[in-house]
Amino acid sequence: MKFQLITEQPLWWLILCIALGIGYAILLYRNEKSLESLSPWLKRLLFAFRAIVVSILAFLLLTPLIKINSRETEKPILVFAQDNSKSILINKDSSLYQKEYPNNIRKFLDALKEKYDVKAISWGDHVSEDLNFSYTEQQTDFSTLLDEISIRYGNRNVGAMVIASDGLYNRGSNPVFSGSNLKVPLYTIAIGDTTVHKDLLIRSVAFNKVVYLGNSFPIQINVAARQCAGAQTTLTVKQDSAVLFTRTLSVNGNAFSQEVPVILDAKKKGILHYKITLSSIDGEITLVNNSRDIYVEVLESKQKIYLVAEAPHPDLGVLKTTIESSENYTVKISSAEDANDPLKDYNLLILHNLPSAKHDISALITKAKESSIPILYILGTQTNVRAFNALSTGLSISGGLDKSNPVQVAVNPGFSLFTLSDETRHSLPEFPPLLTPFGRYSMNASNAVLLNQQVGTVSTDDPLLVFFESGEVKTGVLCGEGIWRWKLSDYRQHDQTNAFNEIMTKTIQNLCIKDNKSHFKISTKNSFAENEPVSFDAEVYNDNYELINTPDINLTITNTEKKSFPYTFSKTERAYSLNAGFLTAGEYRYKSTVKVGDKVYNTEGAFSVSALQAEQTETSADHQLMYNLAHKNGGEMYYPEQLNELEKALLAREDIKTVSYAHYKLQDLVNIKLVFFLLLALLTVEWFLRKRAGAY
């Protein structure tokens, strides 16, 4: 550690400070008669003490700084990632990976701690901080693992990575091609069993999660078999206890695969449970993958959306594909000239860059309002702002110069019409700007702003996405065009478009839902995956139909075995939310109660949780992938019995070294306690000697 003294004034000022101290000491001690009896050396010592104290005090008035240079060392980091998915245990050596293997790995990591800073994690469909050998993860995602390691250790001295896995992945991209951004040697430990065992399985089931009452719908079942040549099995599809389909299949090879189409009828509304099974044969390694449960929601009809645009635009295609990704909606796109469809056939009207200078479409808007059809306006560079203001939507833009303004997103935390996930709330401010009409924005009192406009780093009160409700008519206004960039940005940052899809689908849902003016509403999905938390949103209204969140809401979830799970909602700023956590696969019903004053309101519904069987589909480890992953990233593949060899290889690498970092900081000298205690000591000793000599 090194020190350097820095002052704003030239260093020759230090001579003046010393001269001031000496001068002050001369004036104090030159004619001090009370000290005449002291020896000359003691007088000189007292003189020096006072001169030093005054000189230091004078120097501190120059506000000197001390620059402290220090150096720190950091061991190279070794990241060890253990595959904790269920597929590890589907082999003849499952007891090995539960008992001996964990102890061997811990000994292996302990042996490396002298040279490396070992960071051990486990992963499956998500990354866990600790080292876990429970093998309970429902999916395996190498992409999430490599991305998470890059985020956590991107600016650190990472020396090497070691990944222990069976090489089977069922989520994300191929790790051999995606790779790691850290550019460090990657070693692999190939675990699991590569032997092709005798197994009969339902590899996949393709079906629509939402169908419509009275329609027939297909289910495509892929049946596979390994090492089962000459065997026979029976494929059965049941709804509850009723058998809807059965077929006998003959396995004609050791690598057998067959697609079996099944056509079913949607005869009643609600969530229908279908169980697909294959009869077992002797000697199968596992029977878990011989059955599959699926849940299909039967609705009365699709909701239709009419999208009318001023001109062709990339936003239109993005809107159509995003909205129609939900089976509940269908979208028709029309130009302003050809918008003559009867609006009574539609549940929502979307106007893109309308009204414009060429098309005021006031007649179309009047028909929509007369039919109580909600409208979503998407404003942009071609919107006629004056004509829009005349529509009395609840939003007006004044003082504009027919110019556009690029703005980014600021999420309004007080919005309560629906809830966005934390991931979406964090992603939205990172999206590219939209082009909004320039001007002063004003709204009526009945507004609910989800997104505000942010210009640069300044968040404004101008709305970017706002909702209004007048009587039975709902209106939404997105004050900018260019949402196609949002979808591309979401995919570029996260390799998926969940945030964009959520903001758009929930906007459409909010506008399409017909309010029943109930005092108590609960919203949730009808279907969840087994590794997805079950969540609910709730709203409570008083007699004036004002949103409140003072009373407590209780909710009880009941499974098919009549076992109940009670919960209490958490209160948000104006509404309620509940995360019920992860539930096992099956059908569930819920009932919720709230008391407002003397009145008790109830609501109930149903949902399903679908089992994830991806980890049971493949029973043979893919060590070739582990080999390719290691060799592409400058490492080698080892087996569990070769941990000693891997340890030697990691310790022998001379290119992985401890690094040293230099740091410096500036600190005011007057704030250093040592200076204070030095002055105090000098003055104390001087006072004591003078007191002893009778000078005080």
- Residue entry with tokens 């003189």: 47
* Pair (320, 373) in one structural domain: yes
- Among 357-361, 418-422, 586-590, 638-642, whose mean pLDDT is lowest? 418-422
pLDDT band at residue 189 under the 50/70/90 scheme: very high
pLDDT band at residue 684 under the 50/70/90 scheme: confident
Average pLDDT over residues 558-565: 91
141 pLDDT exceeds 60?
A: yes
* Pair (454, 556) in one structural domain: no
* Pair (151, 63) in one structural domain: no
Q: Side chain identity at 332, as an amino acid letter?
A: K
Q: Is 190 a member of any domain?
A: yes
Q: What pLDDT is recorded for position 668? A: 81
Average pLDDT over residues 410-436: 89
* Pair (598, 637) in one structural domain: no
Q: Is 672 a member of any domain?
A: yes
Q: What pLDDT is recorded for position 646? A: 94
- Could you tell me the CATH number of the domain that includes residue 545? 2.60.40.2550
- Could you tell me the CATH number of the domain that includes residue 234? 2.60.40.10
Average pLDDT over residues 121-146: 88
Q: Is 632 a member of any domain?
A: yes
- Both ends of the chain: CA-CA distance in Å? 43
Q: What are the pLDDT digits (tens) for 33-54?
A: 666 666 777 778 888 888 888 8
| DSSP for 630-668, written as a single string | HHHTT--EE-GGGHHHHHHHHHH-SS---EEEEEEEEEE
7 pLDDT exceeds 90?
A: no
Name residues whose C-beta falls within 8 Å of residue 370's C-beta, 6 or more positions apart in sequence: none
- Could you tell me the CATH number of the domain that includes residue 414? 3.40.50.880
* Pair (602, 640) in one structural domain: no
Q: What pLDDT is recorded for position 521? A: 87
Q: Name the most confidently modeled range: 169-183, 309-323, 519-533.
A: 309-323
User: Containing domain of residue 545, as a range?
Assistant: 520-610
* Pair (377, 506) in one structural domain: yes
pLDDT band at residue 695 under the 50/70/90 scheme: low
516 pLDDT exceeds 70?
A: no
* Pair (330, 476) in one structural domain: yes
340 pLDDT exceeds 70?
A: yes
Q: Is 87 a member of any domain?
A: yes
Q: Side chain identity at 234, as an amino acid letter?
A: T
Between 599 and 669, the higher pLDDT residue = 599
Whether the Cβ atoms of residue 262 and residue 246 lie closer than 8 Å to each other: no
Q: Is 615 a member of any domain?
A: no
Which one of 456, 489, 512 terminates a domain? 512
Closest-CA residue to 622 (of 320, 176, 50)? 176
The chain-wide mean pLDDT, for the chain, equals 87
Residue 509 CA to residue 329 CA, distance in Å, equals 10
pLDDT band at residue 2 under the 50/70/90 scheme: low
Q: What are the pLDDT digits (tens) for 494-509?
A: 888 999 999 999 999 8
Q: Is the Cα torsion angle 310, 315, 318, 323 positive or negative in sign?
A: negative
Q: What pLDDT is recorded for position 130? A: 87
Which one of 269, 299, 329 terminates a domain? 299
* Pair (597, 628) in one structural domain: no
Q: Which residues pair with 634 in a beta bridge?
A: none
* Pair (533, 565) in one structural domain: yes
Write down the pTM of the prediction: 0.57
Q: Is 287 a member of any domain?
A: yes
State residue 322 phi and psi, 5-degree precision. -70, -45
Q: What pLDDT is recorded for position 454? A: 93
Q: Is 652 a member of any domain?
A: yes
Structure tokens at 422: 């934390």
Q: How many domains, the chain?
A: 5
State residue 221 phi and psi, 5-degree precision. -110, 125
Name residues whose C-beta falls within 8 Å of residue 342's C-beta, 6 or more positions apart in sequence: none
Whether the Cβ atoms of residue 445 and residue 499 lie closer than 8 Å to each other: no
Q: Is 236 a member of any domain?
A: yes
* Pair (638, 539) in one structural domain: no
* Pair (47, 160) in one structural domain: no
Q: What are the pLDDT digits (tens) for 610-626?
A: 877 766 677 788 899 99
* Pair (359, 505) in one structural domain: yes
Q: What are the pLDDT digits (tens) for 446-480?
A: 889 999 999 888 889 999 999 998 777 889 999 99
